[in-house]
Structure 1
Amino acid sequence: MLSIPGGATESETEEEVEEVLQAPWKLILYDDDIHTFDEVIEQLMKATGCGLSKAEELTWKVHNEGKAIVHEGEFEECLRIDSVLKEIQLITEIKG
């Protein structure tokens, strides 16, 4: 076990990193003037696996409020969904 500055061991640091990655992360989708409603709805369904009505609801929220949380969960899952949304250059942000 390595000693990390500050008194933590390597295994303690790895556990902390794992906890952070599993903490509830939020994937935020921002409004833009480029994509149509249909494009955003289709990409949300593809990325998150949600149904048409949920994708429409999220798209309207993004349109009306400027942004919306489209997924909450582990970092890796947010990253996967984010990459699908970015396939069509949607503007997103992951926050922890």
Structure 2
Amino acid sequence: MSVQEEVLEELLTQTEETRQNEIVVFNDDVNTFDYVIEMLMNTCDHDPLQAEQCTMLIHYKGKCAVKTGDYDDLEPRCSALLEAGLSAEIQ
């Protein structure tokens, strides 16, 4: 195996090991901007500016990754977003 192939294999292994899950929130025609902002601040510990920016991305791009981390941390947060009426999933 060449040095280049070894380095590529090592990088791929590191990427797979360090890859974290993320909560993705999708746009809908039901919830208001203010409501989504409030939910992101409450469930994902966003500050107001971060929540507003994510909400804009959700609206204009159709979705936004709002929180990354370990699955065990994300699962209750995603459940709270779903219970609040938002469309979200862990990817």
- Look up the SS of the partner of 1:69 in the other structure: strand
Q: Structure 1 residues 86 and 44, CA, compared in 2 at 3 Å: closer, same or farther? A: same
Q: How many residue pairs are counted as aligned between the two chains?
A: 75
- Where do 5+ consecutive residues of structure 1 fail to align? 1-19
TM-score by length of 2: 0.77
Is the helix fraction higher in 1 or 2?
2
Mapping for residues 13-32 of structure 1, pairs under 5 Å: 23-32=19-28
Contact map agreement 1:40 1:59 (CA 8 A) in 2: yes
Match of 2:45 in 1: 49
Match of 2:59 in 1: 63
TM-score by length of 1: 0.73
Q: Distance in 2 between matches of 1:94 and 1:88?
A: 16
Match of 2:69 in 1: 73
Match of 2:34 in 1: 38
Is 1:91 matched with 2:71?
no
- Where do 5+ consecutive residues of structure 2 fail to align? 1-16
Indicate the percent of aligned positions where both proteins have the same amino acid: 32
Give the stretch that moved more between structures: 58-67 or 77-86. 77-86
